Amino acid sequence: MGDRKAKDDLFDALASVAKVLGSGRRAEIVDVLAQGERPVDEIAQEIGQSIANTSQHLQLLLRSGLVHSRRDGTRIYYRLSGPGVAQLWAAVRLVASDHLANLSDLAAAYLGDRSALSTLTRTELKDRMDGGDVIVLDVRPEPEFRSGHISGAVSIPVKELAERLQDLPEGVTVAAYCRGPYCVFADEAVRTMHRHGIPAVRLEDGYPEWEAAGLPVETGNGRGSPQNSTEKTSNV
């Protein structure tokens, strides 16, 4: 029989990983870093916290082994330590969706009424891309697009979309995507396009799920600048 204290220590260590995610702000940081590497100041801006508070959260994530860091001049960049961390975050979201009674109400309060928004699954979007009858629009911040995006996607951050609608071709359905199932960017983009008579749908989840499914992704500037873009296929 194994030693009781040794077993307690083992399970306490295993549980410590989940404990680190017991903060909404740290969970949000993981959600941001699932899109790609970001410096502290940009992470702070994304989660609406001071740099000092964000750094404290990042230090906890760093000590737990969930993130890695590197210094480039005066800036410190953070990234997830491996694909398992993104998978853990996806599993937490799935369990919460299945078992938290008020999660739908909380999501609706943040995301608004989604009933008028048409969605595509990853398989449906891939089929339509292969058929050439859809424009794929990445509405995340540009640094996330550069870190990785759906192959062939066009980058127009949601904050710029209203002023750049003329960049979209006429008569073609636009499929917008962002960070995942609880990201509001794609919802806002689809509503904006609908108001201007542009046929638009959203991917039902986001870039991390697309990449995890092994579907084609690329890094760099992407569509329009193929010389600056490197295509890769995820192996998951």
Read off the CATH number of the domain in which 195 is found: 3.40.250.10
The reply to whether 131 and 228 lie within a common domain is yes
Asked if the structure places residue 12 within a domain, the reply is yes
Asked if the structure places residue 127 within a domain, the reply is yes
Given 60, 88, 116, the domain boundary residue is: 88
Given 59, 88, 117, the domain boundary residue is: 88
pTM for the model stands at 0.86
The reply to whether 142 and 212 lie within a common domain is yes
**CA distance to 99, 130, 226, per residue, from 84 (Å):** 22, 30, 30
Given 31, 64, 88, the domain boundary residue is: 88
The reply to whether 180 and 110 lie within a common domain is yes
The reply to whether 116 and 72 lie within a common domain is no
Q: The tokens of 83 are what?
A: 């694909």
The reply to whether 218 and 128 lie within a common domain is yes
The reply to whether 110 and 50 lie within a common domain is no
The reply to whether 197 and 158 lie within a common domain is yes
Asked if the structure places residue 96 within a domain, the reply is no
What gap in Å lies between CA 109 and CA 178, rounded to an integer?
19
Q: What is the mean pLDDT of each run of 10 residues along the chain (236 residues)?
A: 88 92 96 97 97 98 97 96 95 95 94 94 97 96 96 97 94 96 97 96 97 95 43 38
pLDDT score recorded for residue 86: 95
**DSSP 8-class letter at 215:** -
Considering only CA atoms, which of 174, 224, 169 is closest in space to residue 203? Answer: 174
| 155 beta partners | 138
The reply to whether 212 and 141 lie within a common domain is yes
The reply to whether 124 and 150 lie within a common domain is yes
Phi, psi angles (nearest 5°) of residue 46? -65, -35
The reply to whether 134 and 69 lie within a common domain is no
Residue 132 gets the label, from left (phi > 0), alpha (psi -120 to 50) or beta, of left
- Domain of residue 10 covers 4-88
The CATH code of the domain that includes 63 is: 1.10.10.10
Asked if the structure places residue 94 within a domain, the reply is no
pLDDT score recorded for residue 2: 72
pLDDT score recorded for residue 46: 96
183 carries an active-site annotation? no
The reply to whether 223 and 134 lie within a common domain is yes
User: Which entry of 80, 178, 186, 203 is annotated as an active-site residue?
Assistant: 178
The reply to whether 123 and 222 lie within a common domain is yes
What gap in Å lies between CA 50 and CA 33, rounded to an integer?
17
Domain tally, the chain: 2
